[in-house]
Structure 1
Amino acid sequence: MEPWTEFEENVKPHLKHVQAYCAYLTSSKWEAEDLLQEALLRAFKYYRDTGKLLHPRSLLYKIARNLQIDAHRKRRGVTVALEEALLQPHYDPDYVSVRGMLEWLAEHLSERETEMLLLAEVFDYTYQDIADVLHCSVPAVKMVLHRSKNALRKRGRPQDNNGGAPRGKMTRRVSAPAPYAIERWTTALMTGER
């Protein structure tokens, strides 16, 4: 079997998810398509060089995210004339969805749990890195992440009617984080920088 055919068979079941992720990361349909194509190209190069593709969806997500971060960093240093800047739209539809998801997380997890979860799952920090940043032990990080993920599994997805909590059972009350924490997390997710 040719490398491209085998690669295509491994990647095909994940394309819809990766395409949605690329659309989430970018501001337009065309940018999302370009990002998807570039991610597929990079993944194929990796596959061709190593001969293996163990977790195609994770690999494509990571490649797409890194490509988008690189593109953002390149654009950040570009100076735009004031007249041109005034013509550009200032509304970012991704901001609303990211902010909404973080507010939902903050309703169900403490500020510390949310912070650890974002560092681990979004920014790919190791347990040791999280422990160093938040001044705690690695076992404490593991315990908090395990407890947080279990709590979220029990609550379900944000679009569930009752927050995923089983009927008749009490839900855990969490003190709301400071509004600046949610804004800081939103900014970090939007820019890709912790």
Structure 2
Amino acid sequence: MKPWTEFEESVKPHLKHVRAYCAYLTSSKWEAEDLLQEALLRAFKQYRDTGKLRHPRSLLYKIARNLQIDAHRKRRGVTVPIEEALLQPHHDPDYASVQGILEWLTEHLSERETEMLLMAEVFDYSYQDIADVLHCTVPAVKMVLHRSKNALRKRGRPELAGGPARSKPARRKSAPLPYKLERWTSALMTGEL
């Protein structure tokens, strides 16, 4: 058998389910079909490289999900017409204020808590994505995020006008390394972690 025929036979029973999953992810018939085709292409490349395709349905689900996440992240940086931009709240990506807020955040949270909070709340990572990147479990991510948010609620918000925070900082464990703080500031300013 030729590689394409073997690949086709292994994924054919799962196409109906994967097509439905792609439709769920995209909410559009046309985008779902494009996503399915791209997922099949990526799966075939993997099959061609490895010579086998274990658990084809879960592999296609994972590929489709990751492709959709990548597409979502790319769309976040799309420019909008000036009329629409004027209706949106203005956020000045001023380096000093961004770094100041991050410094305040790191005074109240550990490095791991800060990183998870940024990934979840700013960069829209899913719990599973955070767990994969930080090599932990999804329940651990949920627990850390819950505790972090509760700790911040108890502390209050930093004063953006340059004054002191409402409560005394409670330094957790150890301060992040300066390059971590710099990396987080840069990520917030560029929108890419």
If the length of structure 1 is used for normalisation, what is the TM-score? 0.49
**CA radius of gyration, larger in:** 2
If the length of structure 2 is used for normalisation, what is the TM-score? 0.49
